[in-house]
Amino acid sequence: MSRDAPSPTNPFALWQAQLAGERRLAAKTREAYGRDVRQFLAYLGADLGPPLDPKLKALSAQDLRGFMAARRADGVGSRSLMRQLAGLRSFLRFLEREKLADASALSAIRGPKLPRLLPKPVSATSALRLVDPDERGGETRAAWILARDAAVMTLLYGCGLRISEALGLLARDIPKSGVDQLRITGKGGRMRIVPVIGPVIEAVSAYRALCPYQLGPDQPLFRGARGGPLSARIIQFAMAELRGALGLPDSATPHALRHSFATHLLARGGDLRAIQELLGHASLSTTQIYTEVDGTMLLKAFDAAHPRA
């Protein structure tokens, strides 16, 4: 049996199994939480076990504060510290529920204050240029690659997908004439139905017609130059080249197209609850940040145009 294999004597592995099963956290989140716990144990000089190290049973608020201070001294930012604290809370509370340790030290710990960062969408005009393959017509890359990149970006802006969701599509998921929706599995395994508009169908169809590789129904829809699954890094690189050519700021990333999808819908009178469903947000409070973005853009337009501003 491996060290992290679930067993009655391996609380770390049982906790990881609970994150995957009951809480249905994404694999990357579970991996990050596990890494955070290992870093904390290394700071304590404690062993992962089994059996559970006595230092975890006698944990104090000072231990937690010292760890957070040490991570801050190493240059770790507030958002990363917040995630590390979330991972530790999850693990320690699991140990407490299993009657293996006392997690009361957590009550004395507050997370770092986070600046409220508003999403930075691009304008509707810029978004349309970013998803237009003709904007890269002078490049030496193959036509199918330009069509592929445009199709991915059109899914981000036209359907509000995360880049991981777009690149996770299989060939059988291809939107086509007569099929105007996609079934997407997002963060935490949450399923949602996303409407697909005509330009998205056209962009994906153009890519499919030019793609030189066989697109079996259970194979990835988007392929790299050598036929393997397409990497998000390639789309990020393509976006960086495009924003340079179009004179857009560094904030014009693939994820900014998803932000633009939500912001432009809201500006046209879209219902906030409906936008929450389209984005796959678990909480409406996450979606409400776009109301602040829309208000900020409105004030900027006012300041730029009003004669008494």
Catalytic residues: 162, 187, 255, 258, 281, 290
Q: What is the CA radius of gyration of the chain?
A: 23
C-alpha angle with apex 161: 155 to 162, nearest 5 degrees? 120
Which distant-in-sequence residues (6+ apart) come within 8 Å of 298 by Cβ?
Answer: none
Q: Is the peptide bond prior to 212 cis by the omega test (within 30 degrees of 0)?
A: no
Cα torsion through 254, 255, 257, 263, rounded to 10: -170
For the chain, what is the total number of helices (H) and then of strands (E)?
Answer: 14, 2
C-alpha angle with apex 76: 71 to 80, nearest 5 degrees? 105
At residue 7, the 3 state secondary structure works out as strand
Cα torsion through 196, 199, 201, 203, rounded to 10: -130
CA distance 253 to 122: 9
Amino acid at position 115, single letter: P
CA distance 94 to 103: 9
CA distance 211 to 201: 15
Length of the chain: 309
